[in-house]
């Protein structure tokens, strides 16, 4: 982060596509071209891990910390490559264009991907790239492929309730299962091979066009994941491999009862004893996927909110220290130029700042937070920024700027905003003013959610942390990227020295 730059936050699922969900195909490449045309330097996305409807389709609650989401595989590219036939797509299925219907998309896409596997599986034994991919990723791929096969066999039953010898991964039993489910395992490996081949091509296209991809590193993993099943010792589980202590945060800006995430918390003593090998493998994997990493819930590396499993809210819990300094010291020995953005929002104590300063990690500044009761001395006002930070108008967890102004901002907050801008604005122009503040700030990087660039309201919010349904569904319409949007963003980027 030595040069000024800017970029757009837009998740892959939100891209236009005829298959009901954004994917790694044509629209993704067109979006990269849009970034180039508007002089951007970054494309920030959300985690690419496989999601499930039973977990709210959240990319932060995936069933693997390493695998890619097969729903993001481009069907059109598979047709172009001859892996799919047009006759495989004869079914006339219409999907909503402005939202993701995950149940319908999953059912349809799994059927199409099964056709792709059936068409190609006889070629896999001669596909040296597939063989190399499996070898390079065997540290997670074997467990993941078997885990998905077993979930299908047990019809989605939680792995903690599988037969004991499977739950506990008896070596003899595991060997037999790998043979029994051999075809299903190869199929899951094939899906991952296709996903990462398509993602690598898109990432290369970004980099050739001088666009850096900012990826997201979720702090926690889902209990119902191949990671926890394969590495139960790394998490605080009981003797029967069930959750005893889970993650969340106490009451804050996002929720008056806190956020009960429910993921198993790490056993940091065991992680430390293994020199954090699981985390090091994970970061190595992500550094091959992305150019920069946003560490979600960075505060959890210093201390994390731990509460008993089974609670209804996150209000009653305790802070537990984590070995953040030792952890990042080890990471930097393996990755000397670790490109980190620390998500330092919410409750931030001096020891969190100390850890960030120790390693020079830039934090996040949200303009949507800038006009609260701490005005004019709050840390989110642009005149307080150093260069070593990333400024956002808002994130995927916030209302849009227009939605905030219209439905959340108090009269006092609006008054402070007008005072800071030295003029009054209305709901149709407030997003442009905050984009200008972000772009003109000292922050090395400015990231604008696409919803704010388009001036969309609360209906376009990606995620509402206090709500369990209806999240992660928003999609971009091709018609929303108008020439005036291109010219406006290009002009603001050039005028702020970020082009």
pLDDT (tens, 9 = 90+) of the chain, 499 residues, equals: 578 999 999 999 999 999 999 999 999 999 999 999 999 999 999 999 999 999 999 999 999 999 999 999 999 999 999 999 988 886 767 899 999 999 999 999 999 999 999 999 999 999 999 999 999 999 999 999 999 999 999 999 999 999 999 999 999 999 999 999 999 999 999 999 999 999 999 999 999 999 999 999 999 999 999 999 999 999 999 999 999 999 999 887 767 888 899 999 999 999 999 999 999 999 999 999 999 999 999 999 999 999 999 998 999 999 999 999 999 999 999 999 999 999 999 778 999 999 999 999 999 999 999 999 999 999 999 999 999 999 999 999 999 999 999 999 999 999 999 999 999 999 999 999 999 999 999 999 999 999 999 999 999 999 998 787 899 999 999 999 999 999 999 999 999 999 9
C-alpha torsion angle, residues 42, 46, 47, 51 (rounded to 10): -150
Beta partners for residue 310, in sequence order: none
- Residues 119/84, Cβ–Cβ less than 8 Å: yes
Q: Is 252 annotated in the active site?
A: no
DSSP code of residue 460: G
Domain definitions of the chain by residue range: 5-495
Catalytic site residue from 88, 296, 413, 433: 296
User: Among candidates 158, 149, 157, which has minimal Cα distance to 262?
Assistant: 158
Q: What's the rounded Cα separation, in Å, for the pair 173 and 136?
A: 25
- pTM listed for this prediction: 0.96
Q: What's the rounded Cα separation, in Å, for the pair 478 and 440?
A: 28
Q: What's the rounded Cα separation, in Å, for the pair 183 and 148?
A: 12
Q: What's the rounded Cα separation, in Å, for the pair 70 and 102?
A: 13
Give domain 5-495's CATH superfamily: Glycosidases (3.20.20.80)
Catalytic site residue from 397, 413, 433, 452: 397
φ, ψ (nearest 5 deg) of residue 10: -155, 120
Residue 153 neighbours by CB under 8 Å, 6+ apart: 181
Beta partners for residue 293, in sequence order: 215, 340
Q: Is 343 annotated in the active site?
A: yes
User: Among candidates 412, 302, 310, 321, which has minimal Cα distance to 359?
Assistant: 302
Beta partners for residue 99, in sequence order: 474
For the chain, the distance separating the N- and C-terminal CA atoms, rounded to the nearest angstrom, is 14
Q: What's the rounded Cα separation, in Å, for the pair 413 and 370?
A: 9
Q: What's the rounded Cα separation, in Å, for the pair 337 and 127?
A: 34
- Helices and strands in the chain: count of H runs, count of E runs: 18, 12
Instruction: Note the pLDDT of residue 465.
Output: 84
Instruction: Note the pLDDT of residue 182.
Output: 97
Q: Is 296 annotated in the active site?
A: yes
């Amino acid at each position: 982060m030595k040069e000024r730059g800017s970029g757009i936050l837009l998740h892959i699922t939100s891209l236009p596509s005829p298959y009901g969900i954004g994917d790694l195909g044509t629209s993704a490449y067109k979006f990269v071209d849009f970034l180039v045309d508007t002089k951007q330097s970054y494309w920030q996305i959300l985690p690419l891990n496989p999601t499930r409807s039973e977990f709210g389709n959240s990319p932060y609650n995936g069933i693997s910390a390493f695998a890619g989401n097969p729903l993001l595989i481009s069907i059109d590219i598979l047709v172009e490559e001859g892996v799919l036939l047009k006759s495989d797509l004869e079914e006339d299925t219409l999907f909503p264009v402005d939202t993701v219907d995950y149940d319908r998309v999953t059912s349809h896409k799994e059927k199409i991907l099964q056709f792709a596997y059936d068409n190609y599986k006889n070629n896999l034994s001669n596909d040296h790239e597939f063989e190399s991919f499996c070898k390079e990723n065997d540290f997670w791929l074997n467990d993941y492929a078997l885990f998905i096969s077993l979930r299908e066999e047990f019809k989605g039953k939680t792995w903690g309730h599988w037969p004991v010898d499977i739950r506990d991964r008896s070596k003899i039993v595991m060997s037999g299962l790998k043979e029994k489910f051999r075809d299903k395992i190869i199929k899951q490996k094939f899906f991952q091979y296709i996903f990462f081949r398509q993602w690598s091509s898109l990432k290369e296209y970004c980099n050739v066009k001088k666009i850096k991809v900012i990826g997201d590193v979720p702090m926690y993993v889902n209990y119902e994941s191949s990671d926890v099943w394969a590495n139960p010792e790394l998490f605080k589980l009981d003797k029967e491999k069930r959750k005893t202590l889970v993650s969340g945060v106490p009451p804050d800006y996002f929720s008056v009862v806190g956020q009960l995430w429910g993921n198993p918390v790490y056993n940091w003593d065991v992680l430390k004893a293994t020199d954090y090998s699981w985390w090091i493998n994970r970061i190595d994997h992500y550094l091959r996927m992305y150019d920069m990493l946003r560490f979600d819930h960075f505060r959890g590396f210093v201390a994390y909110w731990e509460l008993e499993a089974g609670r209804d809210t996150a209000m009653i819990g305790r802070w537990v220290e984590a070995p953040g300094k030792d952890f990042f010291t080890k990471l930097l020995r393996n990755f000397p130029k670790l490109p980190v953005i620390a998500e330092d929002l919410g409750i931030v104590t001096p020891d969190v700042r100390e850890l960030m300063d120790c390693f020079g990690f830039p934090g996040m500044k949200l303009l949507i937070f800038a006009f609260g009761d701490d005005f004019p001395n709050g840390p989110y006002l642009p005149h307080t920024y150093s260069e070593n930070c990333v400024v956002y108008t808002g994130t995927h967890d916030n209302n849009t700027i227009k939605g905030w102004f219209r439905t959340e901002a108090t009269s006092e907050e609006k008054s402070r905003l007008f005072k800071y801008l030295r003029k009054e604005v209305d709901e149709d122009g407030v997003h442009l003013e905050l984009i200008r503040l972000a772009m003109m700030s000292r922050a090395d990087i400015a990231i604008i959610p696409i919803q704010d660039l388009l001036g969309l309201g609360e209906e376009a919010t990606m995620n509402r942390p206090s709500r369990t349904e209806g999240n992660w569904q928003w999609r971009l319409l091709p018609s929303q990227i108008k020439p005036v949007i291109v010219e406006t963003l290009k002009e603001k980027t050039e005028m702020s020295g970020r082009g």
